[in-house]
């Protein structure tokens, strides 16, 4: 199953964070797109999502 393969590649659920803009899972160890807001780290799948979040971070809290 494709889902199992993805999970295995990520080493399990612990390392997977949610991209709050795109509502998809992001590997916090691999992604280059992250930012801190309100004392919490946020992870994104791509530059566009990061920029969108930084524009109005309060929207995604
Ligand atoms: Zn994205």
d(CA 61, CA 46): 18
Distance 47 CA to ligand 1 centre (A): 6
- Radius of gyration in angstroms for the set of CA atoms belonging to the chain, rounded to a whole number: 12
Q: What is the pLDDT of residues 3-44, one digit of tens each?
A: 555 555 544 455 678 888 878 889 988 999 999 999 999 999
Q: Measure 55 CA to ligand 1 centroid, in angstroms.
A: 14
Ion ligand 1 residues within 5 Å by Cβ = 22, 45-46, 49
The residue assigned the tokens 């691999």 is: 30
Can you say how many angstroms the Cα of residue 4 is from the centroid of all Cα atoms in its chain?
19
pTM: 0.68
Pick from 15, 37, 40: nearest CA to 52: 37
- 24 vs 50: CA distance, rounded Å: 13
Distance 46 CA to ligand 1 centre (A): 4
The CA 48 to ligand 1 mean position distance, Å, reads 6
């Amino acid at each position: 199953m494709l889902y199992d393969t993805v999970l295995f590649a990520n080493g399990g659920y612990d390392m997977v964070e949610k991209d709050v803009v795109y509502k998809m899972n992001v590997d916090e160890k691999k992604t280059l797109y992250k930012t801190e807001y309100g004392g919490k780290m946020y992870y994104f799948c791509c530059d566009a999502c990061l920029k969108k979040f930084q524009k109005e971070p309060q929207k995604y809290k």
